[in-house]
Structure 1
Amino acid sequence: MSAIFMACSSDAEKKVAHFEKGNAYFEKGEYKSAELEYRNAIQIDPEFVDAYARLGETYLKLGSPKDAFREYSMVAKLAPENTDAALKLATFYMLGKKNAESREKVEAVLAREPNNIEALFLLAGLHDLDKKFDAAAAVFKRIIALDANQARAYMGLARIYARQGKFDEAEKQLVQAIQLDPKEIKPRLELVRFYSSRKAFDKAQAQIEKAIQLNPDRAELYLILGNFFFQMKKNDDAERAYLKAIDIDPSDVKPYMVAAGFYDSRDMTDKALAMYDKALATKPNDVNIMTTMAGFFLKHRKVADAQGYLNKVLKERPKFFPARMMNGEIATYKKDFTGAIAIFDQLIKEEPRSARAYYLKGVAHMGNGELQSAKTSLSKTVELNPKQPKAKMLLADIAMRERDFNNAQKLSEAVLDEDPKNYQARMMLGNAFMAQGKTGEAEIAYKLLIAEDPENPAGYYRLGLLQRATKNYPAAMENFNAALDLNPKLMDVFTNLILVYGAQKEFDAALNRCDAQIKKVGDANVPKAIISNLKGGILLAQKRVDAAKNAFEAAIQLNPEFMPPYYALARIYLTEKQPEKAIEQYTAILEKNPNQAGPHMLLGTIYDMQHQYDMSEKHYRAALKINPQFAPAANNLAYLLSTRNGNLDEALKFAQIAKEKLPDDPSVMDTLGWIYYQKGLYGNAVQEFQDSLEKLPDNATVNFHLGAALFKKGDKSQAKPYLEKSLALNNQFEEAGEARRMLSEI
């Protein structure tokens, strides 16, 4: 009997010993060690209420609210009268928007302790969430009646009055809170926020400066002052405030990090990096600083530096969630979309409510051309974070691609409801209206873009496109010219301007404008090549064939990677029925200097148009032997191989070379899409064809390709309009028969 008693006594002593060791670790901030000791105590006594309570506090310190909730739930189960645990659970429920469960816990406490201040604060908060403002105000007044020194109650009452529009009353309550202890920072900062919300910025600044006067050694107050100046666009004052915070407490990393963010926002990258380096020198093994620095380098496309810092972080903390998230971002940046998706899948498995992981996974799926999977991930993002505008805008983009213009409109409007100044959302809304034929609404959207940011050429360009489509040519020209005045090198805009001249048969004016624009772009050969190519087209329309040839040849000389002039020259030679003369001419050029990719490209294009595919392949390969990265030849060879029963893997290799060099070229998009189509990757194909069609809306082949990919993907109703349009544009193009066959099956 005595042995049993001794064993029990020993267990009780061990339990207490573990508990006290846990408390000692907790006080020193060693929370993982504290967790272990509390767990050991609970293992000895599974009904040790105090250990569960302390373990709950430990998990809060470790940033694990889910585990804390579990431990407080055990306290409530074992000791239903434990007020602290009940209130902690009520707080968790309220934060989780489970107001009914929270209210039940609060009311149970108040039934036992009607004057419990913390319970009353929670009750006031619940009334506020339910928009029962009078009830919330009554509770705050009750708290003040119980304890007139409760500054939080005055601040809470001020917030209620402000929501009710009783601004004078709100201000009085905040002043009362400050008078309780003028040196206390929180009430004064609440008054700063109140004045800022009322646009009383001078009063807000005065309160911050008063707080600094009363607490001159508090570095965080200078950070608040700096942030205030930054919001007021007083950047020099903001910088001085941030540097003063550093002077006051050089051992605190936060001022360095805030200053670094400030410099980065102003594109002062060297100063930003210097601040990050100082922060890291202060805390050399801080994983948060290193992860932030990795993000800084990734933003500035220094991927190797970003990866270096992430590797250091993950060596210290292999499971550190933010660093692993950024690894996924780097994989996406490197276009390793499959690898990125695998990373995000693992993170979501560990943290199913991570909206950011779902968002980044959606981005990676879009990169992979997996629009349905992207839609699923992005929709989950919005479910978890309804105010996530980027996810909504990507969903709107997908809706536009799927021709669900009404949904694109709704998503854009939802973003604008939250942020009326969101430029991207306003642009998308205008595009959705335009696609639906709602020209009046589209015009209003584009004019709002111009009003919101008159220095951004995009609004003028989109409005010009709308006016060109409705044949309001004078207005279209005015807006295209406005965009070009802001940026003369916008060749999409300039091309549309020249098309407007052409539609009005104003060919001489178009040529004069081309010559003027060449002078405006200076030494920039890429835009000069585009302008020379446009000149060639105008000259052809005037039947000035020799002058057109010179313009196209000049375009090739200016930018050998630019494909349209090769096709234009080849078409001229075929139209003149003198391809042999052209072949002799370019063969002679190669005999004089064989190390030129351009003449091989032109010869390949001529043979291609003559359907002499063996010869065209020979010259494309010769061009690539001279220059393995020569995108025009890589693109044409890829398309040739994909359509002439060639090696699809080799075709894909060449298409990817072209895509890397010419990512925005619609012909390259079409080629890559066709290879995906041949390989049965219809989702990837659809994405490439859609991107190509944005730039070539009246190309019969691209319309057919998109229709065919949608048809094979099973989206036959969506395929139909593209197949029909391909035949309407040209009922004799090469795949016209296949288009008719598919339409007959729909």
Structure 2
Amino acid sequence: MKKYYTHTQPVLVCIFFSVCFFLCACASDTEKKEQFLSQGQTFLEKGEFGNAVIQLKNAIDIDPESIRAWEMLAQAYLKTGDTQQGFSSLLRLEQIDPNNLDTVTQVASFYLLAQQTQEAETRVNRVLAEQPDHIPALYLKAGILSRDPANLDQIADIYEKILAIDTRQPKAYLALAGIYAARSEFTAAETSLKTALELEPESARVYKTLFDFYLSRGDTPAAESVIEDYINQAPADPEPHTFLGSFYLARNDLDKAAHQFASALKKDPENLNAHMLMADLYVRQSRIDDATAYIRQAMDLAPENHGVLTACAEFYFSLNHMRRSQEIVDEILSQRPGFFPARMLKGKILAETNELDAAAALFRKMIQEDPESGQAHYLLGSVLKKANDFAQAKAMLSTAIEKAPYLYQARLLLGEIHFQEGDISLAKDHAGQVLKQVPNHYHAGILLGNTLLETQDIPAARTVFEQLIQSTPDNPVALYRLGILERSEKNYDRAITYLNQALDIDPDLMDVFSGLITVYALQEKFEQAIARCDEHLAARGEDPMVAAVILNLKANILLADNQLENAVTTYEQAILKNPSYVTPYLSLGKIYTAQARFQEAIQTYTALIEKRPDQASAHTLIGTLYENKGQFDLAQTHYKTALEIDPDLIPALNNLAYLYAEQGIHLNQALDMARQARRQTQQAPAVMDTLGWVYFKKSLFDSAAMEFTAAIDIDPSNPVFFYHLGRARLEQGRTDDARDAFETALSLQSDFKGAESARKILADL
């Protein structure tokens, strides 16, 4: 029988072959994906991360939802240092497998590093809600809370919970040690650190933390012992030697430092850190050729290592070779714009070249990126101090010490600011704490000696300076300070000896030479002083600035010896030597003013302004002369110009406010200026009087009387203060008190400005 096929049979055959082809293709893709994954895993294990990335991306091309491929790809990217791609891979993995709490925690950690706290906290809270004992999430929770110091107790609870889950968590012990130390629970802090060390007996991080703890407590022997234990624990490791050597280097114990660096290089002749530290040591010893040799060896070992290149730039910076240092830093930052050490050095170069605003902006940005960086806070504080913004500088330096208690440089700078502000007790305390950390620190010793000198503890100050001279005989500063001490005690011969010794070390120290000439002047040995000036001028006068300073000192001596014409001629010679040197102009102007040669005084100050347009004080002096001549418009013009140059210049603020008050004009502006001057000076009676006179002109008589009374309490010999008080008392209706004030004013001086008015008022009372 003949067999017939229906029309559907060819279609079924086609479908059969298509399905077979599809199944074969699927089998082929699966095999390829597994092959790519296997190869990627192999490359990861070998450390060939770039090749691993290629194979894993091939696997993802076949299966974009492969959890295993995305996990390994994220790992490969992070191993290569490509955190952006690593983070992107983790985000994709989180989308594919949202229930994987480890992945969610990793993503949260990236958000926390990027300071996107809300994103991090949302994920951490979700993980802990599902798994309260998830240790990595607990660490992140503590990190989130640590952004507010008020959360210290909560943070401690979290670390204690971590240790309750797993007692072998050295990171938690380290964190708790920091919290205990912040609470001044030092025994508990020490116990936590020692427990961390038991868990990780070879951890450099734990040894260094314990070392810093002892150092912050002033227990130097214990700190040294920790690093010696570290050396014994890791006898083949050069790192503990470089660390201990750095400690000795910071304490200026150069022989011990050199021994440790040499030990490090013996164990690892190619150790870059040891090479750089040895170079630093030789710089301190002024052995520049030896230092340069170590720098070159380091660069030969790692010509493309940014850390080494930055250290080389630091080397040139220390030698004041700013251009070369800048070139290296700019090259590093062109390749790695975010490299923290190079950016720090960039800021230091900007500060050294007086680009203070740019330096401050850079350090502020770095603090925003890393709020825990004590070094960045310290450097910003140093820039602010240089800009005379002491309030902000103190805040930054205090934070630096809080973040990094070992950073003695911040403490020293803070002590110097306190000394400049007259807070001698705090300055002394900071100097003492620095010397606990670094017993031989020269500048801390100088600061301590200065505080003792300021508080008239002469024997102790003398001992400090003598010890500094003995320990560092080639530094002139202690000799200079001891010379000043002996001068204050009227031991003039000893003062001259010390000051001459300082000049033997550095003949160009004009502060020292000025101190020496002052000693001669105090003894009225004017001929010897003049001869010494001439001798020093012949030896050092090739430098115009040095010559101008010497001539100015000579002119001062001639003036003290009543050789007025010779003094004027010598001041003029000083100006010719260095037309930008301010002091002789001011001295000449003062002489002309005392002689009532007002026009010549104005011409002298005008000549100074032509050479130094930044001199606000010259405008103030001209303004005072015009005011005395009754040319108030010109006086106002110069006072205003002075304030444009320096808005905080107290004499200009005070004088312009008083001038406005005298004329009864711009009284609101006058009040603002007088109050500003009063805030800045506190106890200046002339400023108090000006503020009182402005109050008087504004009919605020009670406030006026308070200021006049305060001025009189400080300076009861000024008749104008009593006259002004009399005017205020009269307006208050206190006639008897007014009469007493006017009579006192006239008894002090019969012809002061306002005397005629006082007599007329008394006659009418």
TM-score normalised per structure 1: 0.57
Is 1:412 the equivalent of 2:434?
no
Residue aligned with 2:269, SS: coil
Q: Aligned partners of 1:520 and 1:304: how far apart in 2?
A: 34
Q: Aligned partners of 2:26 and 2:489: how far apart in 1?
A: 89
The answer as to whether partners of 1:396 and 1:411 remain within 8 angstroms in 2 is yes
User: Where does residue 734 of structure 1 map in the other structure?
Assistant: none
| Equivalent of 2:314 in 289, 295, 308 | 295
Q: Aligned partners of 2:194 and 2:318: how far apart in 1?
A: 43
1:87 deviates by 2.6
Pairing of 1:324-343 with structure 2 (within 5 A): none
Q: Aligned partners of 1:375 and 1:170: how far apart in 2?
A: 35
Residue aligned with 2:221, SS: helix
The answer as to whether partners of 1:362 and 1:377 remain within 8 angstroms in 2 is no
The answer as to whether partners of 2:620 and 2:651 remain within 8 angstroms in 1 is no
Q: Aligned partners of 2:117 and 2:307: how far apart in 1?
A: 34
Change (3 A) 1:156 1:285: closer
Change (3 A) 1:171 1:159: same
1:433-484 deviation per Cα after TM superposition (whole angstroms, max 9, x unaligned): 5xxxxxxx567678889988453699699989xxxxxxxxx99984999899
What amino acid is aligned across from residue 89 of structure 2 in structure 1? E
The answer as to whether partners of 1:69 and 1:92 remain within 8 angstroms in 2 is yes
User: Where does residue 336 of structure 2 map in the other structure?
Assistant: 320
What amino acid is aligned across from residue 523 of structure 1 in structure 2? A
1:522-571 deviation per Cα after TM superposition (whole angstroms, max 9, x unaligned): 933254652333333543576535644775688689x5778689989999
| Equivalent of 2:65 in 30, 47, 56 | 47
| Equivalent of 2:227 in 186, 191, 208 | 208
Q: Aligned partners of 2:163 and 2:314: how far apart in 1?
A: 47
Superposition CA RMSD, Å: 6.1
The answer as to whether partners of 2:620 and 2:652 remain within 8 angstroms in 1 is no
The answer as to whether partners of 1:144 and 1:154 remain within 8 angstroms in 2 is no
Residue aligned with 1:132, SS: helix
1:52 deviates by 3.6
Is 1:286 the equivalent of 2:275?
no
1:78 deviates by 2.0
Residue aligned with 2:296, SS: helix
The answer as to whether partners of 2:177 and 2:193 remain within 8 angstroms in 1 is yes
1:285-321 deviation per Cα after TM superposition (whole angstroms, max 9, x unaligned): 434423432332244233565477569x67xx96333
Change (3 A) 1:701 1:477: farther
Pairing of 1:245-264 with structure 2 (within 5 A): 245-264=264-283
Pairing of 1:668-679 with structure 2 (within 5 A): 670-671=609-610, 674=613
1:189 deviates by 5.4
Q: Aligned partners of 2:318 and 2:115: how far apart in 1?
A: 35
Is 1:82 the equivalent of 2:100?
yes
Is 1:389 the equivalent of 2:378?
yes
User: Where does residue 241 of structure 1 map in the other structure?
Assistant: 260
1:142 deviates by 1.7
Change (3 A) 1:319 1:723: same
What amino acid is aligned across from residue 295 of structure 2 in structure 1? Y
What amino acid is aligned across from residue 220 of structure 1 in structure 2? E
Pairing of 1:650-665 with structure 2 (within 5 A): none
Is 1:132 the equivalent of 2:151?
no
| Equivalent of 1:276 in 295, 298, 322 | 295
The answer as to whether partners of 2:602 and 2:622 remain within 8 angstroms in 1 is no
1:79 deviates by 1.1
Change (3 A) 1:127 1:33: same
What amino acid is aligned across from residue 394 of structure 2 in structure 1? S
What amino acid is aligned across from residue 455 of structure 1 in structure 2? I
Q: Aligned partners of 1:285 and 1:244: how far apart in 2?
A: 26
What amino acid is aligned across from residue 96 of structure 2 in structure 1? L
1:216 deviates by 1.8
Gaps of 5+ in 1: 327-353, 401-407, 434-440, 465-473, 576-606, 612-635, 641-666, 675-687, 730-741
1:518 deviates by 6.2
TM-score normalised per structure 2: 0.56
Is 1:524 the equivalent of 2:540?
yes
Is 1:71 the equivalent of 2:89?
yes
User: Where does residue 706 of structure 2 map in the other structure?
Assistant: none
1:246-284 deviation per Cα after TM superposition (whole angstroms, max 9, x unaligned): 111224433323433444455543333222222233334
User: Where does residue 92 of structure 1 map in the other structure?
Assistant: 110
Change (3 A) 1:302 1:42: farther
**Greater mean deviation of Cα atoms: 481-490 or 87-96:** 481-490
Change (3 A) 1:411 1:712: closer
Q: Aligned partners of 1:538 and 1:184: how far apart in 2?
A: 66
Residue aligned with 1:274, SS: helix
User: Where does residue 446 of structure 2 map in the other structure?
Assistant: 455
1:243 deviates by 1.4
1:141-194 deviation per Cα after TM superposition (whole angstroms, max 9, x unaligned): 32346xxx5555555565555555555555555555555676666655555455
What amino acid is aligned across from residue 92 of structure 1 in structure 2? F
Q: Aligned partners of 1:515 and 1:427: how far apart in 2?
A: 36
User: Where does residue 142 of structure 1 map in the other structure?
Assistant: 164
1:706-742 deviation per Cα after TM superposition (whole angstroms, max 9, x unaligned): 86668889x9x8799748759999xxxxxxxxxxxx9
Change (3 A) 1:463 1:144: same
**Greater mean deviation of Cα atoms: 297-306 or 274-283:** 297-306
User: Where does residue 75 of structure 2 map in the other structure?
Assistant: 57
Change (3 A) 1:725 1:551: same
**Greater mean deviation of Cα atoms: 480-489 or 150-159:** 480-489
Pairing of 1:556-635 with structure 2 (within 5 A): none
Residue aligned with 2:65, SS: coil
Q: Aligned partners of 1:195 and 1:541: how far apart in 2?
A: 57
User: Where does residue 339 of structure 1 map in the other structure?
Assistant: none
Change (3 A) 1:238 1:544: closer
1:33-87 deviation per Cα after TM superposition (whole angstroms, max 9, x unaligned): 5556555655555434344433433443444545543432332222122233223
1:223 deviates by 2.3
| Equivalent of 1:217 in 226, 236, 242 | 236
Q: Aligned partners of 2:534 and 2:428: how far apart in 1?
A: 29
Pairing of 1:467-478 with structure 2 (within 5 A): 478=488
Q: Aligned partners of 1:709 and 1:92: how far apart in 2?
A: 54
The answer as to whether partners of 1:477 and 1:497 remain within 8 angstroms in 2 is no
Gaps of 5+ in 2: 1-17, 402-407, 433-442, 456-483, 594-599, 626-634, 660-668, 674-765
The answer as to whether partners of 2:40 and 2:55 remain within 8 angstroms in 1 is yes
Q: Aligned partners of 1:137 and 1:450: how far apart in 2?
A: 36
The answer as to whether partners of 2:87 and 2:110 remain within 8 angstroms in 1 is yes
Residue aligned with 2:446, SS: coil
Residue aligned with 1:216, SS: coil
1:610 deviates by 9.9
Change (3 A) 1:206 1:446: closer
Residue aligned with 2:103, SS: helix
What amino acid is aligned across from residue 409 of structure 1 in structure 2? A
Q: Aligned partners of 1:194 and 1:64: how far apart in 2?
A: 35
What amino acid is aligned across from residue 391 of structure 1 in structure 2? L
